[in-house]
């Protein structure tokens, strides 16, 4: 027999840490990131890189101003700001000016995250809030839809200009039920106008989703609930069963459902709470999309983030072994 070791709880430790989870999220984002660059060209890569660097720098500079030592900052660096940066970059329209990711990154990291206490204490998703800040500030740039093309990376003829059109997204006709897009085009993201670099290729997004589920970073149920409820509500609103696939495949819904809505900090603590949260999110998204006729996923997620404390307050986890007190004590057999 070995020596009896007496230690304080917790006794079971796993390798799971914020750092590992965030690196997993970065890996899961990679396929969609690569497809975004394939579709939209080098400028999309530049935008993502600017956003990533701005977010990391903003966090480091903030910590330096607050008075942390550079050694501690490097030791504690947990890649959350890198995830925020990459998500923000992939949330931008591919044709927007270069200074948007800088402004958005600083706003997202400093105002939304660091001023509220840093990683794990932000009450709304920094990347979503930064995107909304940019939409409110630079509406004309943020509603410019890029036209993806496979040849964007290495254009054969130098005269080919990218077809940035304003306001004409795949979502508009779909919401009016007059879309000419095939589901396959929507699924692969080819030939569909996109408002964000990362949202186009659904195959790549689903690859990332599978990776996250296998690594147990996210629960497989929640994105499915969100996407499913949104699709169902759209079917109900339009009274047409064929509306299901186009409505879930278009816009940023799948991207947001996998990577943005599932942020740990801004989701409820319990399974039931999460189901309520994602179902409400789906209903809200479909309703707003139907009524306003534009993409509203980011606004819905921000809005529902405010409800997380409310959900957590009313759906409380049952302690292990807890039994409800009976009103009458019966004589048991």
Partner 1 sequence: MKNKVKDLALDGVLRQNPTLKLVLGTCPTLALTTAAMNGVGMGLAVTFVLMCSNVIISSLRNIIPSRVRIPAYILIIATFVTIVRMFLNKFAPTIATAMGPYLPLIVVNCIILGRAEAFASKNPVLDSMFDGIFMGLGFMLAITLMGAFREILGAGAIFGVKLWDFKIEFFTHASGALFTYAIFIALFTYFSGLYSKKSKQKTLQKDKKEVEA
Residues that bind partner 1 (CB under 8 A): 103, 111, 133, 136-139
Rounded to an integer, what distance in angstroms lies between the CA atom of residue 293 and that of residue 176? 8
Which CB sits closer to partner 1, 111 or 207? 111
Is the CB of 98 or the CB of 220 nearer to partner 1?
98
Give whichever of 142 and 218 is closer to partner 1, judged by the CB atom.
Answer: 142
Instruction: Provide the β-strand partners of residue 144.
Output: 166
The rounded distance, in Å, linking the Cα atoms of 237 and 226 is 17
Q: 146 by DSSP, 3-state: which?
A: strand
Kindly state the smallest distance separating residue 10's Cβ from partner 1, in Å.
Answer: 38
Compare residues 5 and 136 and give the one whose CB is closer to partner 1.
Answer: 136
Peptide bond into 10 cis (omega under 30): yes
Closer to partner 1 by CB, 222 or 299: give it. 299
Q: How far apart are CB 61 and partner 1 at their closest, in Å?
A: 18
**132 in Cβ contact with 295 (< 8 Å):** no
Within 13 Å of residue 113, how many CA atoms lie on the same side as its CB? Answer: 29
Dihedral class, residue 146 (left if φ above 0, else alpha if ψ from -120 to 50, else beta) = beta
Q: For partner 1, which is the closer residue by CB, 66 or 156? A: 66
Residues 10, 12, 15, 20, CA torsion sign: negative
Comparison of 129 and 195: residue with beta carbon closer to partner 1: 129
Q: How far is the CB of 301 from partner 1 (least distance, A)?
A: 16
Minimal distance, residue 254 CB to partner 1, in Å? 28
Q: Which two tokens stand for residue 37?
A: 């660059």
Which residue, among 158, 140, 260, 240, has the nearest Cα to 199 in the 3D structure? 260
| Distance from the first to the final alpha carbon of the chain | 45
* Ramachandran angles phi, psi of 122, nearest 5°: -75, 135
Q: List Cβ neighbours of 240 (8 Å cut-off, separation of 6 or more).
A: 177
Please, which residue, 103 or 232, has the CB nearer to partner 1? 103
Q: How far is the CB of 25 from partner 1 (least distance, A)?
A: 28
Tell me if the bond preceding 24 is cis, omega within 30° of 0: no
The least CB distance from residue 80 to partner 1, in Å, is 23
In whole angstroms, how close is the CB of 46 to partner 1 at the nearest point? 20
Nearest distance, CB of residue 308 and partner 1, angstroms: 20
User: How far is the C-alpha of 99 from the C-alpha of 112, rounded, in Å?
Assistant: 19
DSSP state of 13: -
């Amino acid at each position: 027999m070995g020596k009896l070791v007496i230690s304080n709880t917790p006794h079971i430790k796993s390798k799971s840490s914020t750092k590992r989870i965030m690196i997993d999220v970065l890996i899961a984002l990679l396929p969609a990131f690569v497809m975004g660059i394939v579709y939209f060209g080098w400028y999309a890569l530049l935008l993502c890189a600017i956003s990533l660097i701005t977010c990391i720098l903003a966090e480091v500079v903030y910590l330096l101003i607050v008075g942390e030592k550079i050694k501690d900052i490097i030791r504690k660096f947990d890649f959350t700001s890198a995830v925020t940066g990459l998500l923000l970059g992939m949330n931008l329209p591919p044709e927007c000016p270069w200074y948007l990711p800088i402004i958005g990154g600083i706003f997202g990291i400093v105002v939304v995250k660091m001023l509220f206490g840093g990683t794990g204490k932000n009450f709304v998703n920094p990347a979503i809030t930064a995107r909304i800040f940019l939409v409110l500030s630079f509406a004309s740039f943020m509603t410019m839809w890029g036209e993806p093309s496979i040849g964007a990376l290495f254009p054969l003829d130098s005269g080919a200009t990218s077809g940035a059109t304003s306001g004409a997204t795949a979502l508009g006709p779909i919401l009016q039920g007059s879309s000419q897009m095939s589901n396959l085009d929507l699924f692969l993201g080819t030939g569909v106008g996109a408002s964000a670099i990362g949202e186009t290729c659904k195959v790549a997004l689903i690859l990332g989703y599978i990776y996250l589920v296998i690594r147990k970073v996210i629960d497989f149920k929640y994105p499915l609930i969100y996407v499913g409820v949104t699709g169902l509500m759209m079917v109900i609103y339009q009274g047409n069963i064929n509306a299901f696939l186009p409505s879930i495949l278009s816009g940023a819904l799948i991207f947001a459902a996998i990577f943005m809505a599932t942020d740990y900090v801004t989701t409820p603590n319990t399974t039931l709470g999460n189901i309520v949260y994602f179902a409400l999110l789906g209903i809200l998204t479909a309703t707003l999309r139907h009524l306003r006729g534009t993409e509203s996923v980011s606004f819905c997620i921000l809005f529902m983030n405010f409800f997380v404390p409310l959900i957590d307050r009313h759906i409380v986890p049952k302690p292990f072994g807890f039994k409800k007190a009976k009103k009458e004590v019966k004589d048991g057999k």
